Amino acid sequence: MTRVLNAKGQDLRTVSREMKSLIEEESVVTIKNASHLHGLCAGLKKGEITIEGDSGDYLGVLNDGATIKVRGNAGKYIADNMTRGMVLVEGDADYGAAQYCYGGTVFIRGNAGDFAATMNKGATIIIGQDVGDEVGTYMLAGDLIIIGNAGLNLGNYLIRGNIYIGGQWVSLGHNCRQERLAPEDLTKLEGYFAPYEIAVEPKRFKKITPQSVKPFYK
Amino acid sequence: MPIVGAFCVTLHKDRCINSRMPGKCATCVEVCPYEVYAMDDEGQVMVQNFNACVGCRICVEFCPYNAIRINPAEPEYISRSLWTFAQVEEIHYKSLTGQYLLRGFGTMGPLPHFDNIVVVPSQLASPPPKDKYREECKMEVVIGEETAKNPIRLRLPIIFPAMSFGALSREAKLALAICAARTGIATNTGEGGVVEEEPYYSKGFVDKEMTKRKWSPGGHLVIQWSTGRWGVSADYVNAGDAVEIKIGQGAKPGMGGHLLGAKVTEEIAKVRGIPVGSDALSPCRYYDVLTFEDLKKQVGFLRDVTNYEKPIWMKLGPSRPYEDVRMAALAGVDAISIDGMAGGTAASPDVVTQGVGIPTIACIPPAVRALKDLGLHRRVKLFALGGIRGGLDAFKALALGADGVGFGTAAEIAMGCRACMACHKGGCPYGITSQDPKLRARLDPEAAAERLTNFVKATAEEIKMLAMLSGHDDIKELSEEDLRALDINTAAITGLKLVGYERRLPWWEQQETTR
């Protein structure tokens, strides 16, 4: 059963406590008027939460198993340091989406800002439209999929992991190289696209991987 | 021409081929432009006039058997400063390799430090001294009493500051945890993730379920939240008793960290959650903090993730202590550690460790003023780190206004380190900063913990002794009045009264009256 929380005028501690007790009752939770709350849904291990409208910053930080949906736009640092679970944004995500993630899936249907997916250590991060500059900086593992275009220095100092991009980049970062798509890549991308009904042809994607396994010192 | 007689010239006869076969080699005689060496009629080479040696060391360069040593005859600060042998060799190293120098162990040389401060005992003009054998002195420090459901109660005003698993061996990390349990103090994970046993060892238990207690009274574990976020998850931040947000450190303030891929072994990769052999780069700043407001939000969500149970701590490097501590306190933390520039368990570029930062004794007074100005002194706890060697330094830091002190380098030494300063090379012969299983096998966590415990207990006794002889039965009562500066410089830096003058320097007094 779905329960609705109105966060208007409430502080993080109160909303967080009520939300957690609803999750314990196995309820699906919808939270309204939550854009002033930063760090909401932090470190949840289970539950299904929908934010009606826009979210504040650090939504779903340290998420460890919950499914969090944002109907509007997300603030800065959405899904920061996520380890498990799923974060879905229907609109755009501000600066620094899905940084420091170890696992789970982040899907942003709209655009994402600068420094998205920085230091990704294993999550699957899918951006439905364009991304800003310096996206995927210092990535260590995982897949970053950009359906649209990227700005400056895409994948700067890529350490490990893969970046797939459907559109163009303004410039590629240090230690990046373009690689031919393998049949496994096509299957993988199809698998990623199906649940979100993304109607693009995996074949037109470009794959970027690290040039050297040691990007800092020879 | 340098001073005559500035060098000792030593010819090692056991290496010199000429001493075994006279007439065979006289390279030194040939290359020396100042006739330091001579060959006699029998072909025997000797040092005929060491006073003439200018220290050019061309003989050393050319000697085929490495038999010659040229050493300064007196301290180089007198005869050769600025161009000491070490300085000359450093430039040669850079000119040969194109690389800067890297080392551990903090700032070397004459930095203003605790040695320029003395402790004032009680006589007639202040409350009489306390009897250490019969009377008690309260040493407890409580962190997060007003804000956290589970405040930390340190039995002694001592912590082990952040040193990561990766920088330290697993055995060293466990020794610190066991010692924390045995003395009731806190240890810190550092930013390299948590070693599996650390959470329950630091509590004094040998099993994960915490049913079998081995060490009493039980200590505390501070979990570090840093810029690389190694091994960080919701479970990680909840694995200890407090969360520390690292902003900087004394050894290399303004820089991040970098564990080279070569050191990311299978075990380290597992704890840090990254591929084996990949570089673990900790950026110099948070990519997920753009503004001070963001930092406040981080404090907020860390409280939320830890269910408002655990105190939040912040660690600062030595930069602008007044403003930095003020901001940290305004960000809403329960404790602040400030690391002076002498701090230095981390491998750091030599120029940074040597030349960047503010000395520890110059960090504490502004930090204390910042907290006092906010009405938060003794409420937000202040920990002084950086080159604190024992009870005497600790007492002085406490009397300057800190609530506690951290022992990083001293803790390593207590475990057996001999301060060779080559921690970053990974070959620590005592197994403290090495990841090599053979070297690590030399460090038994329990034996090292025994040494650490002895050190902590002795240090606590020293603090207690100094507190009681200056008339206090609670370390919270210690104040600047218990200290004097030995020289004008220290009095000027710290605002302490100068010995003999018995007053603060004029500008400090003026500042007081104009406030």
pLDDT tens for B120-161 read 999 999 999 999 889 999 999 999 999 999 999 999 999 999
pLDDT the model gives residue B514? 59
* Entry pTM: 0.94
pLDDT band at B493 (very low <50, low <70, confident <90, very high): very high
pLDDT band at B299 (very low <50, low <70, confident <90, very high): very high
Angle at B447 between CA B445 and CA B452, to 5 degrees: 90
The answer as to whether B109 is a domain residue is no
Nearest to A49 by CA among A57, B400, A34, B504: A34
The β-bridge relationship of strands A121-127 and A105-108 is parallel
Into how many domains does chain B fold?
Answer: 3
Cβ-defined contact of B278 to A159 (cutoff 8 Å): yes
CA–CA separation, B496 and B492 (whole Å): 8
pLDDT band at B199 (very low <50, low <70, confident <90, very high): very high
Predicted-complex ipTM score:
0.96
The answer as to whether A149 is a domain residue is yes
A200: distance to nearest CA of chain B, Å? Answer: 31
- pLDDT of B515 higher than 60: no
pLDDT the model gives residue B265? 86
- pLDDT of B344 higher than 80: no
- Is A12 at the interface with chain B, CB within 8 A? yes
Domain that holds residue B505: 483-515
The answer as to whether A86 is a domain residue is no
Average pLDDT of span B420-428 = 87
- pLDDT of B2 higher than 60: no
- pLDDT of B511 higher than 80: no
Q: What is the CATH number of the domain that holds B31?
A: 3.30.70.20
CA–CA separation, B377 and B366 (whole Å): 12
The answer as to whether B107 is a domain residue is no
- pLDDT of B325 higher than 60: yes
Distance, CA of B503 to chain centre: 32
CA–CA separation, B397 and B339 (whole Å): 12
The answer as to whether A172 is a domain residue is yes
Cβ-defined contact of B275 to A115 (cutoff 8 Å): no
* A41 neighbors A49 (Cβ within 8 angstroms): yes
Q: Where are the beta strands (DSSP E) in B445-508?
A: 483-485
- pLDDT of B390 higher than 90: yes
Domain that holds residue A119: 92-218
Into how many domains does chain A fold?
Answer: 1
- Per-residue pLDDT reduced to its tens digit, A179-199: 999 999 999 999 999 999 999
- Per-residue pLDDT reduced to its tens digit, B250-287: 888 888 888 878 778 898 899 999 999 888 889 999 99
Q: Are residues B50 and B178 in the same domain?
A: no
Who's near B356: CB < 8 A, 6+ residues apart?
B252, B253, B254, B341
CA–CA separation, B159 and B156 (whole Å): 8
B348: distance to nearest CA of chain A, Å? Answer: 16
Using an 8 Å CB-CB cutoff, list residues of chain B that contact chain A: 228-229, 232-235, 237-238, 258, 260-261, 273-275, 277-279, 281, 283, 287-288, 290, 294, 297-298, 300-301, 303-305, 308
Least confident segment among A164-168, B60-64, B311-315, B342-346 = B342-346
pLDDT band at A218 (very low <50, low <70, confident <90, very high): low
A13: distance to nearest CA of chain B, Å? Answer: 7
- Per-residue pLDDT reduced to its tens digit, A14-61: 999 999 999 999 889 999 999 999 999 999 999 999 999 999 999 999
The answer as to whether B1 is a domain residue is no
pLDDT the model gives residue B121? 97
Q: Are residues B500 and B404 in the same domain?
A: no
- Is A6 at the interface with chain B, CB within 8 A? no
Structure-derived torsion over alpha carbons of residues A11, A16, A21, A26, reported in degrees to the nearest 10: 130
Q: Are residues B431 and B500 in the same domain?
A: no
CA–CA separation, B515 and B22 (whole Å): 81
Cβ-defined contact of A58 to B298 (cutoff 8 Å): yes
Best of A55, A61, A94 to disrupt the B interface by mutation (most B CBs within 10 Å)?
A: A61
Chain A: residue nearest B232 by CA? A81
